[in-house]
Structure 1
C-alpha cells in the first residue's frame, strides 16, 4: 500500500478509515477545490495513449492512498505520463493557460489515468472538505495538542493541504494550518524538532513572533486583494504572459 502525500500536507486525524478502504482494494482520493473539481479533457487520452475515459470528479494529486494491487495500473502510468507530457504546456512551462489540458501537470496526468484505467468500484472518492485548501473556510482548531480541527457540523478532515504560497517561504494568511505548523516544527513533544533560528520569525513562539505573524497575515490579505483586482481587468494575465516570454515564472 502506498500513502502519497505532498510535502505541504498536514495529517490531522488517524488515517485508519482511508487505509481500510485501500486494504479492500480501492484507491482513496479527495476532490480538488472548486472551480477545478470537475476538470476534464478528451485530449488526455490521445496524448497519453489511454483508452476511452469516464468523466468523474477531478481529484487533487496531493493525497492518495493506493492499494498495492493498483500500483502498476496507477503509479507506473502516472510516472510514465509525466515523462510524456514534460513541462511544455503546463504551469511550469511558458505561456500555459488554465484551459490547456495539462496545465496542472502531474495532477492532470493522474486524473486522466484514473479516468481511463479504474472502474467505479475501485475508487473511494472523498469530498474536498476532508482535505481542504486555504483559507480552510469554516474550520476551527479545537485541540492544538491532538491537531484536532472541526467544522460546525463536527466533521473532522483528514488533511490540511496548503497549496500555492507556502507559509515557511513567504507571508501567508493566518489559518489553522499556520498555527499547527508552528506546533509541529517547534513543540517539545515532536519527533524531529527544528532549531527556532531556522524557522521564520512569524512561525516561532513569543510576543514578537505573534506580531510578525499578524503582519504577514495583513500583507497576504492585501496581496490577495490586489491580485483579484488585477484579474478583474485582465491585467494579471497579460503581465504573466510577458513574464513567461522572458523565461520568468510569475
Structure 2
C-alpha cells in the first residue's frame, strides 16, 4: 500500500509540474469576436454562447474562421476533432493570416483520395499561401499545388490520418523565425509534427480551417506570449524527473 500511495503522490507531482509548465500564463480566447473568411456559402461556423468552442457543419469548399487580432511570438493551444464517421477530408489551422493571399496553412487529411486527377494524401501538410492562390475552391489546396501554394513540409503515411470522433490537443508556436506544431491524442502521443526555423515571419491572424469536411469542433483555445521553444514538445521537467526517480526508489524500498 505504501508503494501505491507513493506512486499516486508522484503522479500528482508530475501532473502539477506539467500543468504549471503549460498553463501558468495562458489566456483564453473568446471565439465570439472571430469572423468567417472566404466565400460565405463555403462554411457554417456556430460558436457556443460562452465563446469557448465553434462547430463547422458544411461539407464544402475551403472555409476559414479567423481571429480579429494579429499575433507574433505566441503559442496557441486547444483541442479539435471530427464528430462524425462521414467523410475523410481536411481539417486544420491558419496563422500569420493577412488575407486570402497571405498566410500559413496547416492541414490534416484522414485518408488518401483522388479528386479531379489530384491526389490529397493522408497526413499533414504545412504550406505558405501567397498571391495568386485559389483558396475558394478545391482546385489548388487538394493536392497543395499551383500558383501561390508553396509546400514547406509534409508528413504523409497510411497511419498519419486523424480518427473519427477523437479529440486532439493542438499546439502551435509562431515566432519571428520559427513554426512548431505538435499533436496529442488518439495514436499521436505528444508528437512534434513540424519544426521549421530560419523564417522571416510577420504578425498575422490565427484561425481554423476546413475543406470538404463537416462536423468539426474546435474548443478551449488559449494563447500565450512566447519567444523560445514555442510549440515544441517539452522535455521532462526537473521536477518530473525527480518524481520518476522517487518511483524507482519507492518501488525498491517497498517491494517486500
TM range, smaller chain: under 0.3
The TM-score with structure 2 as length reference comes to: 0.25
The TM-score with structure 1 as length reference comes to: 0.25
Query: Which structure shows the bigger proportion of residues in helix conformation?
Result: 1
Query: Which structure shows the bigger proportion of residues in strand conformation?
Result: 2
